[in-house]
Structure 1
Amino acid sequence: MKAGYVALVGRPNVGKSTLLNHLIGQKISITSRRPQTTRHRIHGIKTTEAGQAVFVDTPGIHASQKRAMNRYLNRTAGTALLDVDVIVWIVDRPVWLAEDDLVLERIQTSAAPVILVINKVDRLEDKAALLPFLESAQQRHPFAALIPASALRGHNLDALEHKIMELLPEGEPIFDQDQLTDRSLRFLAAEIIREKLIRSLGQEVPHALSVEIEQYQTEGKLTRIAALIWVEREGQKAIVIGQQGEVLKKVGERARQDLERLTEGKVFLQLWVKVKENWSDDERALRSLGYAE
């Protein structure tokens, strides 16, 4: 048996969470087209006859350190590289940006073998650009493997899983064989609500959003959930609620549908919106809202 931890790293919006969900075969991490959707380190657990891989989804490593939230995200991504057995570094097609250099600096501090995944190759118009990129990448770091893939389409993920299992050390399973994540249903509920908010709102508001579960109570097949949506300004509160509450109602309906699939039962969901000024640039406020490594 093989068993170990596998860090999924990369700059923002390269498809780390999408890759995790497809590897596990179930939605563990929320996804959107907006950078910095992932804010927490999330473990997705896959157990097969060959062994157990504990995938660690991380926030995107980025250059900005302006706000406390940015610094928290980079710290969370950096600490995920400690004591892992394999690193899977995801890049977006054959494109190398300055933030990829930041990722390279981080992974060079680890002794773990690194697999480079060139994601979204299904959207690559000129396939001929792939070979020179692979040659250039191999000169930057001694990768254990370079794997073109599409997390969204599931292309070449079998090859990736095979290589990961090959690199993992021998050992007994770390988690129960039927466990898919180390996160609670309460945590997953907050993340699902935040995903629906991000997908429903404009450019600015999603970065100023956080969701706190005030009540999570199960009564047979019924789950009662009450959640607070925190924003930073009154104007953002008005946007989240929408005219006559339409935006909040739509978010609630979409979140409830996902939550009922997650809990395999009925869900009664209540949402409120409150203002906590400048919470994303306040270390104490971040900790109070659950942002702690």
Structure 2
Amino acid sequence: MTGGVEGYRSGFASFVGRPNAGKSTLTNALVGTKVVITSPKPQTTRTVVRGIVHRPDAQLILVDTPGLHRPRTLLGERLNDLVKTTWAEVDVVAVCFPANEKVGPGDRFIVNELAKVRRTTKIAVATKTDLATPEQIGRHLLDIAELGRETDTEWAEIVPVSAVSGEQVSLLEDLLVQMMPEGPQLYPDGDLTDAPEQVLAAELIREAALEGVRDELPHSIAVVVEEMGLREGRPADRPLLDIHANLYVERSSQKGIVIGHKGARLRSVGTAARKQIEALLGTPVYLDLHVKIAKDWQRDPRQLRKLGF
């Protein structure tokens, strides 16, 4: 049985950083399959989706927190509380600093907040090194070390990686594993994430819906999977998974954007999401999408609860 291995380690790591710092792409590179939605739009990751790295000697559970930001809405405040709770509970927090951008006020804000979490081990990861020159990367690593000194944050390691080219990803994995406590396997082999399938399906639908509407409605889309189940009466070798989901937007103008001319946009969202869900779950999917208006849901506690926040 695995997990009984002498010196077996298992624990939790969380990648943090300002929006688009490369956290989700890194999670996917380590886990080796797409479990976290990656969108070039900030604040698309909302649920704590864990990717699980299985090794003969260890199990590394990656917790993907939403980006921490100065909250402007009730939703923002809830997300920030969630982030801080997560930081205190994991074994290692890895702060991601994209190598193609200067260390800035957003990074400082996050590291200052993180400095308040005393017990957790902290490492710095210079991401996206494929987009920077060796000189830029060298300068970047010095800036990260300096930010650590200024905020009284002790970096256990500073590691440059590129999730896209795969550069140093396995080195980062080894370092994270070494920082995990010794202990038994926490999840069964074969699990890649513990987010229930409904949550993953909703995330993939949301990613598809955001694709192509770059600035018009960044995070005023919430997706709720109302029903999900195998269609009855199908032969065992030809299963079909029925998914009925609602996309909630805040205003009727946004509803028009999501649906598109004669429903064209919603159809393409449905097709893209269906392919991703089929790839993830390995089952043919029938996806039924409807767009609904939940007025100002980001500011309304009752609606936030209904939409799962």
Same fold (TM over 0.5): yes
Give the Cα separation in 1 of the matches to 2:41 and 2:84: 21
Give the Cα separation in 1 of the matches to 2:16 and 2:281: 29
Partner of 1:117 in structure 2? 125
Partner of 1:215 in structure 2? 227
Partner of 1:84 in structure 2? 90
Deviations 1:158-191 (A, max 9, x none): 1111111111111011111221111111111111
Partner of 1:263 in structure 2? 281
Partner of 2:212 in structure 1? 200
Indicate yes or no: 2:195 matched with 1:183. yes
Deviations 1:220-251 (A, max 9, x none): 52100111000000000011000100100110
Match of 2:267 among 249, 261, 272: 249
Give the Cα separation in 2 of the matches to 1:283 and 1:90: 31
Aligned-residue offset at 1:138:
4.5
Give the Cα separation in 1 of the matches to 2:147 and 2:162: 18
Alpha-carbon spacing, 1:134–1:230, altered in 2? closer, same or farther (3 Å): closer
Q: Is the 8 A contact 2:88 2:119 kept in 1?
A: no
Give the Cα separation in 2 of the matches to 1:101 and 1:130: 14
Counterpart of 1:45 in structure 2: which amino acid? I
Q: Percent identity?
A: 35
Counterpart of 1:159 in structure 2: which amino acid? L
Q: Which moved more, 1:236-245 or 1:40-49?
A: 40-49
Deviations 1:67-91 (A, max 9, x none): 1121122122111112211111111
Q: Is the 8 A contact 1:46 1:53 kept in 2?
A: yes
Cα root mean square deviation, aligned: 1.5
Q: TM-score, normalised by structure 1?
A: 0.94
Indicate yes or no: 2:35 matched with 1:28. yes
Counterpart of 2:196 in structure 1: which amino acid? S
Give the Cα separation in 1 of the matches to 2:164 and 2:9: 26
Partner of 2:5 in structure 1? none
Give the Cα separation in 1 of the matches to 2:130 and 2:281: 33
Q: Is the 8 A contact 2:130 2:164 kept in 1?
A: no
Match of 1:53 among 40, 52, 60: 60
Deviations 1:183-217 (A, max 9, x none): 11111111100000111313031311000111101
Match of 2:75 among 36, 61, 69: 69
Aligned residues: 290
Deviations 1:46-104 (A, max 9, x none): 120121111100111112x2111211221221111122111111112262222212211
Aligned-residue offset at 1:131:
4.7
Give the Cα separation in 2 of the matches to 1:135 and 1:179: 36
Give the Cα separation in 2 of the matches to 1:212 and 1:22: 27
DSSP 3-state at the match of 1:82: helix
Aligned-residue offset at 1:137:
3.7
Q: Is the 8 A contact 1:40 1:76 kept in 2?
A: no
Give the Cα separation in 1 of the matches to 2:156 and 2:140: 18
Counterpart of 1:36 in structure 2: which amino acid? Q
Q: Is the 8 A contact 2:126 2:141 kept in 1?
A: no
Alpha-carbon spacing, 1:227–1:168, altered in 2? closer, same or farther (3 Å): same
DSSP 3-state at the match of 1:212: strand
Give the Cα separation in 1 of the matches to 2:118 and 2:209: 36
Give the Cα separation in 2 of the matches to 1:32 and 1:2: 32
Q: Is the 8 A contact 1:3 1:174 kept in 2?
A: yes
Indicate yes or no: 2:245 matched with 1:227. yes
Gaps of 5+ in 2: 1-7
Partner of 2:3 in structure 1? none
Partner of 1:275 in structure 2? 293
Deviations 1:125-149 (A, max 9, x none): 4435335324424524221100011
